[in-house]
Structures are given as structure tokens and as C-alpha cells.
Chains A and B, each alone.
Chain A
Amino acid sequence: MGIKSLEIVISGVGGQGNVRGAQMLGAAAVKAGFMVRVSDVFGIAQRGGPVLSHVRIGEVYGTMVSAHSADVVVGLEPMEALRAVSAFLKPGGTVAMSTRPIYPVEVNTGKAAYPKMEAILEAIRVATSRIITLDATEVAQSAGIPMAANVVMLGVIAGTGILPFSADYLREAVREYIPRSIEENMVAFESGLKIGESYMNPRT
């Protein structure tokens, strides 16, 4: 094991595949031979509530990432990304965020306003400049499976090279855990991977 631990928080809204994404990431790390802890935090609502998944890889015992110590925050939704970054990201850590908002009921009913994307980014920049943004749903859509935003985001973090194991373990995990439309999901994963890679090696 080349690392002591890698701490990742995945945040999103119930129904976005948060939990499954964390499960695939954790399973890939187990396949790669690491000790792994994954924990999901969600309320009692079936749909639409905030969901946080903690993934810890390496010499780890407890199941949750502690405050301000995540190396990576993966946001499937912008406001939830900000919520997770605020609570968990280590200064200078990496943020991969999908820019497509899911409005809370409070916003839909006109009681609250959804923050502007620039304001969210500006806040995140207080803690880090390593920010990757993309519309993961759109990327998934072009892969033929709009629901696979979570798989796209897994591809993105694999592409950044931040994971201590080969992307092949994640490919294997996606194949194992996704019940149907496997090929479309694989395309979604590869598209995400390219986005992650191009962030790391930007062409001028």
C-alpha cells in the first residue's frame, strides 16, 4: 500500500446513485487489496433528501471521514457538493462536481433561492483551487444512459490519477454492481475518465 489512507466523500441527492457509487468505489479498492470502510448517511426520506457517502481506503478503521480531512469530494449535485466541501474537504483537496442542480422543495415552492453556480464555486475556492466541473448527467446522456452520472463521476476521479489503484478495478466493479445497460455504463465511465485525465493534463 503506497498510501496511509485516501479519504473520499460523495455527496448528492437521494435517487442519484450516491450509495451505489460509493459501493463500487469501495469494492474496487477491496479488489485492489486495500482495507476499506464505506458509510452512507441519509435521512428517512426515500427520495430528494441529501445523501453523503464516506469512502476510506488504506489503513482505516472507523467508517466515516472526519471533519476537514477528505482528500476528495465528489459532488453529484452542486449545492450538496458545497455542503460536503464545507464540512469535509481538506484544504487543497480535490473537488469533482456535477453542475446540474436538483432543486429542493424550498426552492421549487419559491421559499428559498438556489445559489448561483458562480457563488458556489467562489465559496469552494476558499478551500481549494483543484476543482473539476462537468454536467455529469449530460455526459451520461451522451453515453446513452442519463441515470449513470454516478458512474461518470467515478470515471472522473479515476482519470485524475488520485486513486491508489488501476482504473481496471473500477471497471470490474461497475460491471459487477450495475444490473443492466452495462455497455452504456462502461461508455459513461470512459467518458468521465477522459474528463478527469484532461483536467490533470490540460492541452494548451
Chain B
Amino acid sequence: MMPNVVAKDSPGARHLLLGNEAVARGAIEHNVEIAAAYPGTPSSEIVETLAEVADDVGMHVQWSTNEKVAFEVAIGGAICGKRSLASMKHIGANWIMDPLMHAVYHGFDAGLILISADDPSGHSSANEQDNRYMALLAEIPAIEPSDFQEAKDYVGHALTVSEEIRLPVMLRLVTRICHSRGDCIFGEIHREKRQPKFSDDYYRDFVLGEGIVGPKVIPKMHRTQHEKLKRVEGVAARLGLFNSEKPERPIGDLGVIASSAPVGYVLDSLTGRGIRDKVGFLKLGLSNPFPEETVSDFISGFDKILVVEEGEPFIERHLDALVKRVNPALKIFGKLSSHLPREGELNFSLVDDALAVLLGLERRSPPAEKLRLTEAASALLTPRTLTMCAGCPHRAAYYAAKKATRNVANARYIAIGDIGCYTLGMYPPLRFMQDVFCMGSSIGIANGIAKAGIADPVIATIGDSTFYHAGIPALINATFNQANVKVMVLDNEVTAMTGYQPHPGCGQTATLKPTKNVMIENLCGACGIDFVRIVDPYDFNSSVKAMEDAIKFNGPAVVIFRRLCAQEYLRKARRQGIRISKYRVDPEKCIGCRTCVAAFGCPAIGFDREKKKSFVVTLDCAGCGVCTAVCPQGAFVLEEGS
């Protein structure tokens, strides 16, 4: 890793940057003074990178408790005249709709950027929503970089648009920009500590007696917003957010309109086929409000337009509406015409194929030997299924909870999971939860299940960071409405899944400053929960007992399974030179019952089919020792010298 290269004052230098690092560099160059986020793949490295250099560049950088708070923090920064940003994954942005829909009637002196990192194909997400529709709903500009240089430069453009138009601006990224690397040339760093000064159009336009809501005020503000939007395309054009290439005689009378990461696939295809200068090409760096003038100019002279975009057919639908007015004979191709798939991430082959079809060129097909190889390989390859790490405290907690339900509820229960590493508890062999939704929803949905009259214990499993993020209101609801839910808080003392970011229970901030630790057990008590038990999931018997007691308790109950994430612990141990005590299987005692591999499923335990004995993969063993409690024969023993 090259620490802090993003903060280096070396204009003109060329570096390989992660898209998210390029965005961070843009925020540094363009004097963003406040940056807030809740981690979420693929967005996390933006604020993670900024946190590393925050003190050097004079920026306030924070992990906020959730996306809504992060965006509100950014509003607070912008309202005081400081360029501010909030960054989040696409689904995380669902949380901010309320403050966003209100921020749009205000206007700030400083730029306000909402970074939405969309995840087409759901590489690390539960859906592939296209947040340009959020920009459409909120009526704010949406700017889309298509490569790594633009990922940096468009931060500056987004700030300029935001300040000139006086509206928040969405910088819409996609996984392939966030989590890919490319060369990026640094610009100059302009840092300036602006004096904080409260300023808000809303407050300025406020007329005493008209009220703050109601028909005298709201339509007027809405009209102001519409007037603002009319100016966006002009500013965007001046900033160079549109690139139009119109050849004299385009082959196939085809023009291509593209935005975001797929711009690269179009360029690769046209370049590879040697027709780069023979096909019309418009790159849109602004997709909302739809740049009608630019697009109208471009489409004139073509018979056919192919739209290539990541996510929903957003540009395509806008183009369709525009064409009905200006040139109904024009044919539009893209996702709605099925020339490109509507679901899943685009790639080179999909785009190259669509271009070949529309231009009447030959489509690429896999070489014959590769087809033979693919067939031969499929017989040999086995998948690598998702699993929790060796030593993961969540596995131990689930295993204990399962045993508790067997002991006191005839193994009957309904468990709803939540979002984090512990979601993997749904997979075999544990299969603990039956369903999962979104951040913080486990407790709320469990509330409803309990009220629906299910007689079996109703369990919600939620992680520490997720509990702070969104679990608390639902827990209060359980007390308020006396829902008999059993909440397992799987507290591994860090936001593990997104890369070990600190949360309010860690005692330190994004920039590693000590801060007060907000204890989950105190919150539970304050939420009116009468049964709160804290256990170490590595202590198997106490964990089982705690869950049994919670299930038997009449009323909402919380068991906090607290143990540091095994990966985080191993890293710490390595740094501090702590030796890990590892386990091995005593072959005399092992009877080959396979409980450890088939029911518990620690990836550091294997089973030798010939000898019919389990074994420990010593290198992978994290030394948690839970296997000693899992094995009915007591076959797991400490390695000699451990």
C-alpha cells in the first residue's frame, strides 16, 4: 500500500488509483472540508482513504452511525459554507430519502455531494437498484464518471454544479469504477479553511406569516427548484461533461450514447474493431436532469441510437420520450429492445455483441479449443462456498443458539437475520436463520412475526454496527408493544464485513481519536429490555444457557455475544507477537461422527474419508477452541507446546 499518496501535493503525477481513491483525491483537491459515511461495499474506501489523511489535509472525516446521519452531517457542513460530502452504497442511500427530499428546497453557499455507489449484479448487495431514479425523484443533478480520471475530476465538477445551481448533486458511481484501478493524473490541491457561516436560501426566502409548510410556501420553493434544474445542462456543458464525436459518414447510421463504466466497453469494442472514428459516440457525464439539448444535437443525422448504461434503462427512457417529440422515426436500441440485458452488470462481450448486431458485423464466438476446455474443466472444478472464517465468533454463537432451541423449544423457532458477516449463518451447515431483509430489519420484522401469533420462539440476529445503525428503534418498539422477541446481538466489536471500520462501540473514531464508547447493553436497558445477558461465544456452555434463559423469559430479551472478530484478533496478535494456541484431533478419540465438519463447519477442520477421522488444518486454525465443546467425544486437544 502506498499510504497517503492521495494527499501528496504533486500535480501532474500519474498514479494507479482505485476508483474510490480517485474520488477521495478529488475531494482533497477541491477543498471538501466535511466527509461523512456509513461503510458499505463498494463505497467504503472513499471515506476510509480520507480518514487516513484527514489531519494532514484539514478535513473533518467521520464514520457516522448510519447513512441518514452521514447525509445530515454533510447538510450541516454545507449550510455553514463548507464543501461537504456523504458517501454510501446504493442501498444505504435508501436511508437518506427523508433529509434529501427536504435538502432540495434549501440552497447552500457550499457544494454538497451525495455519493451513491451502485452495485449492478449485486456483487456485495441484496439488490441492484439504480439510484439515478433517486436523483430523478429528488430532482437533483446526477453526475456519472466513466473512468478513473473522471472519478477524481468529476468531484470538482459536482461541487461546481452544486454551488452554481445551489442544489445537492449526486455523484453516481458503480462497482466497476469504485473497485477497479486505473491511471489518474493528479491536479493541484486547493485547501482553504473557510470560516463557518450559516446560510440557507430557505431561511432567506422565508416570509414571516406564510408559515414553513403549506400551499403559500411549498409550491413556490418547488418552482425555485425547477428553475434551478433548467440551468444544470448549461453548466455541465461548460464543464465538459459531454463528449460528442460525430463522424462525417457513420457506418450503419448508428450513434452510441453511453455513460459510466460501460463507456470503456464501447471504446474497447470500437477500437478493437478499428471503427472508433466511424461510429457516432456521445458520452454523457450528466444523466439527470436529462441533457435534452446536447442529446438532440447528437441524435440528429442518425437513424439508430444504441444506449449503453449501467443499471436501469434510465437514459434510454428519457431518450425515448425526447425522440417522440423531436424525431419519431429514430430507432432506439438498448435494454428495452433486448439488445442488452436489463438485469446484471454489463461487460465487454455484451456491448460488443450488441454493436456487432446493429452494425451487421461478425460476432465473436469462443474458440473451439476453449469450448472443449470449459467442458473438461467443469468436471474438475468444485465451488468454494461462502463461509464464516475459522474462529469466527458468529459461528460459535449460532451453534450455541441452535443447541438452546433444541434443549428448550424442540428445535422449533423462527430466526430473521440482518446485514453483516453473520448473514452467512443462513448458509449450510448452520442454516440458522430462515430469512433476511435489510439493515436493522431483523428486530422490526421479528416484532411483526411475534404479533402474527407464531407460537415458536421468534429470534432476531443482528450485528453490533447494524444494531447502532438501525436496530434501536425496533428494539424500543418491542418494549413499547411488548413483542416477545429474542434478539441475538452478534457483537464482534468492529464493522467487520466492510473492512473493520470502527463504530460507536469501538471507543475510537474514523481518524483513530479516542472517544466515548456507547455500550450496547446500556442501550438495551434504556430501551426497556428487562432481560439483557452478555456472553463470550467461545464459552459454549454459557452461551447455550443464556439463549435458553432468553427463550424461556416472558418478554423481549437480548443476548449479546461479545468477542472480537477473529480476523481482527489474528492481525492484532501478529502485530503484538502473541502466539496462537492451536488445536489438533486426537485420532484415538475421534469416532468419525463428522459433527465438527457437517454440523459446525469450521473451515479449519477437515475430514479424511479414508481414515474416517477429522483433522485440523493447523495453518488455518485460529485457536478459538470451540471445537472442544462441539465434539461429543472430546477429540479436539491443544497441540503440544501450545
A86 proximal to B (CB < 8 A): yes
Name A114's closest neighbour in chain B (CB-CB).
B382
Complexed CA–CA distance, A63 and B265 (Å)? 8
A62/B381 in contact, CB under 8 A: no
B267 proximal to A (CB < 8 A): yes
CB-CB contacts below 8 Å: B1-42 with A: 1-2, 14-16, 41
Complexed CA–CA distance, A43 and B42 (Å)? 12
B367/A91 in contact, CB under 8 A: yes
CB-CB contacts below 8 Å: B236-273 with A: 261, 263-268, 271
B567/A83 in contact, CB under 8 A: no
B376 proximal to A (CB < 8 A): yes
Chain A interface size band reads 35 or more
A66/B16 in contact, CB under 8 A: no
Interface centre among A45, A46, A115 (most CB of B within 10 A): A46
**Which B residues are CB-close (under 8 A) to A182?**
none
Name A92's closest neighbour in chain B (CB-CB).
B369
B513 proximal to A (CB < 8 A): no
B182/A36 in contact, CB under 8 A: yes
Complexed CA–CA distance, A96 and B117 (Å)? 35
Q: A37-B182, A48-B387 are in contact. Are A30 and B176 (CB under 8 A)?
A: no
Complexed CA–CA distance, A115 and B170 (Å)? 49
- Which of B382, B389, B594 contacts A112 (CB under 8 A)? B382
Complexed CA–CA distance, A122 and B373 (Å)? 9
- Which of A79, A91, A109 contacts B601 (CB under 8 A)? A109
Complexed CA–CA distance, A103 and B603 (Å)? 9
A119 proximal to B (CB < 8 A): yes
B603/A126 in contact, CB under 8 A: no
- Which of A62, A63, A91, A105 contacts B370 (CB under 8 A)? A91
Complexed CA–CA distance, A179 and B3 (Å)? 10
A 3-21 to B, binary, CB cutoff 8 A, 1 in contact else 0: 0000000000100000000
Interface centre among A59, A105, A115 (most CB of B within 10 A): A105
**Which B residues are CB-close (under 8 A) to A44?**
41, 123-124, 386, 497
A 64-81 to B, binary, CB cutoff 8 A, 1 in contact else 0: 101110000000000100
CB-CB contacts below 8 Å: A115-132 with B: 115, 119-120, 122-124, 126-127
**Which A residues are CB-close (under 8 A) to B381?**
79, 82-83, 86, 115
B605/A46 in contact, CB under 8 A: no
Complexed CA–CA distance, A25 and B238 (Å)? 37
Report the minimal beta-carbon distance from A176 to chain B, rounded to whole angstroms. 6
A179/B1 in contact, CB under 8 A: yes
Report the minimal beta-carbon distance from A140 to chain B, rounded to whole angstroms. 14
B373/A123 in contact, CB under 8 A: yes
Complexed CA–CA distance, A104 and B609 (Å)? 15
A61/B147 in contact, CB under 8 A: yes
Name B365's closest neighbour in chain A (CB-CB).
A68
- Which of B16, B263, B601 contacts A61 (CB under 8 A)? B263
B383 proximal to A (CB < 8 A): yes
**Which B residues are CB-close (under 8 A) to A43?**
123-124, 386
Report the minimal beta-carbon distance from A26 to chain B, rounded to whole angstroms. 5
Complexed CA–CA distance, A39 and B182 (Å)? 9
**Which B residues are CB-close (under 8 A) to A40?**
179-180
Report the minimal beta-carbon distance from A101 to chain B, rounded to whole angstroms. 11
A60/B268 in contact, CB under 8 A: yes
Name A27's closest neighbour in chain B (CB-CB).
B16
**Which A residues are CB-close (under 8 A) to B266?**
61
A127/B607 in contact, CB under 8 A: no
**Which A residues are CB-close (under 8 A) to B181?**
23, 26, 36-39, 63
A110 proximal to B (CB < 8 A): yes
**Which A residues are CB-close (under 8 A) to B367?**
68, 90-91
B377 proximal to A (CB < 8 A): yes
Q: A103-B606, A104-B384, A109-B607 are in contact. Are A46 and B567 (CB under 8 A)?
A: yes
**Which A residues are CB-close (under 8 A) to B606?**
103, 107-110
* Chain B residues near A (Cβ < 8 Å): 1-2, 14-16, 41, 123-124, 147, 176, 179-183, 261, 263-268, 271, 347-349, 352, 366-367, 369-370, 372-374, 376-378, 380-387, 389-390, 421, 424, 496-497, 567, 594, 597-598, 601, 603, 605-609, 617
| 7 closest residue pairs by CB, A with B | A62-B264, A108-B606, A63-B180, A61-B264, A86-B377, A61-B267, A38-B181
27 A-B contact pairs sorted by A residue (CB < 8 Å): A27-B15, A38-B181, A43-B124, A44-B124, A44-B386, A45-B424, A49-B386, A61-B263, A61-B266, A62-B348, A63-B182, A64-B176, A64-B347, A66-B348, A66-B352, A68-B367, A82-B380, A82-B381, A86-B370, A90-B367, A103-B617, A109-B607, A113-B382, A120-B380, A123-B373, A123-B380, A176-B2
